[in-house]
Amino acid sequence: MKVELSFSSAQFDELQLREKNIIVIDVLRASTTIAVALKNGAREIIPVASVESAVKISGSLFGEVTLRGGERNGKIIEGFNLGNSPLEYSETAVKGKSIIYCTTNGSVAMAKSRYARTLAIGSFVNLSTVTSFMQEENKDFNLICAGRINSIGNFSLEDAVCAGMIIQNLLKNESLSVELSDSAKAAHAISKTFGRSILKMLKTSEHGKYLIELGFADDLKICAQLDSVPVLPVLAGTVIKLK
Ligand code: MLT
């Protein structure tokens, strides 16, 4: 299995990701929120790359069974039902609902992966589930860190650490032959230093600090809980559902 890794989805377009096996990682908070929403009974998540697409797609469906969720600058988007805090995606709020989902980085990376052969969504809360899936598939994979569109280099420490820990799990499996790209080796090395205390790393990361300023400190605690939401969100057609 060859594992490649990108620290951001910025350099990709849909065609480059066509027919690839992809794991999109956006620990803070899109990947975590999607896992929580689907575990709490959401019917499906429809990732879109822009607010305009969200409004267009929801059209007349918007209402009882279709919700709009997501963020801009970490905050709920005007006219949307839900922001991007995993705490908002409770069973009462999302059970049976289709959620049109638009975030700054995570949903963009997911929308770009719409022609992938397989797309799964990874974060700390489902890290072992994602690793098992990759092991079972035993194919080449691209780990795509959602990164940060507005930050220099588009690098997010928390996504790199999560990707590095997935790689660490794969390397532990001696029956797998894993070949790492240079960036995958770098993420693996980074995770050895910063993966020791996930919550501390999240609290001191740039995006983590921003979310704390906005009053979302509790979100970081949820996002840090390793394997607490052991589900596998995957792309099925144009929507993300539980495998
Ligand atoms: C994103 O996609 O950029 C995020 O998930 C941002 C956030 O809500 O923290």
Q: How confident is the model at residue 125 (pLDDT cuts 50, 70, 90)?
A: very high
Name the percent of the chain lying above pLDDT 90.
90
85 lines ligand 1 (CB under 6 A): no
The residue whose two tokens read 């400190």 is 217
105 lines ligand 1 (CB under 6 A): yes
Q: How confident is the model at residue 151 (pLDDT cuts 50, 70, 90)?
A: low
Name the percent of the chain lying above pLDDT 70.
96
Structure tokens at 156: 């997010």
Distance CA 226, CA 117 (A): 27
Q: How confident is the model at residue 147 (pLDDT cuts 50, 70, 90)?
A: confident
48 lines ligand 1 (CB under 6 A): no
- Kindly list the strands in the beta sheet with 141-145, ordered across the sheet, starting from the edge strand earlier in the chain: 75-76, 66-72, 98-102, 44-48, 239-242, 233-236, 118-122, 21-25, 141-145, 2-6, 179-180
Q: Other CB atoms closer than 10 Å to residue 220's CB: what's the count?
A: 25
pLDDT at 58: 80
User: What average pLDDT score do residues 188-212 get?
Assistant: 97
Q: How confident is the model at residue 62 (pLDDT cuts 50, 70, 90)?
A: low
Could you please report the per-residue DSSP string of 47-78? EESSHHHHHHHHGGGBTTTEEEEEEETTEEPT
3-state class percentages of the chain: helix first, strand second, coil last, to nearest 5: 45, 20, 35
Residue among 51, 104, 158 to mutate when testing ligand 1 (max atoms within 8 A of CB): 104
What's the gap in Å between 176 CA and the centre of ligand 1?
33
Residue among 8, 26, 202, 203 to mutate when testing ligand 1 (max atoms within 8 A of CB): 26
pLDDT at 148: 83
Distance CA 205, CA 85 (A): 17
Domain count, the chain: 1
Please give the residue range of the domain that contains residue 21: 2-242
pLDDT at 110: 97
- CATH number of the CATH domain containing 183: 3.90.1560.10
Higher-pLDDT residue of 60, 12: 12
219 lines ligand 1 (CB under 6 A): no
pLDDT at 11: 86
Dump pLDDT digits (tens) for 63-122: 668 999 999 999 999 999 999 999 999 999 999 999 999 999 999 999 999 999 999 999
202 lines ligand 1 (CB under 6 A): no
pLDDT at 156: 96
Structure tokens at 210: 């921003």
9 lines ligand 1 (CB under 6 A): no
Distance CA 199, CA 41 (A): 26
pLDDT at 154: 84
147 lines ligand 1 (CB under 6 A): no
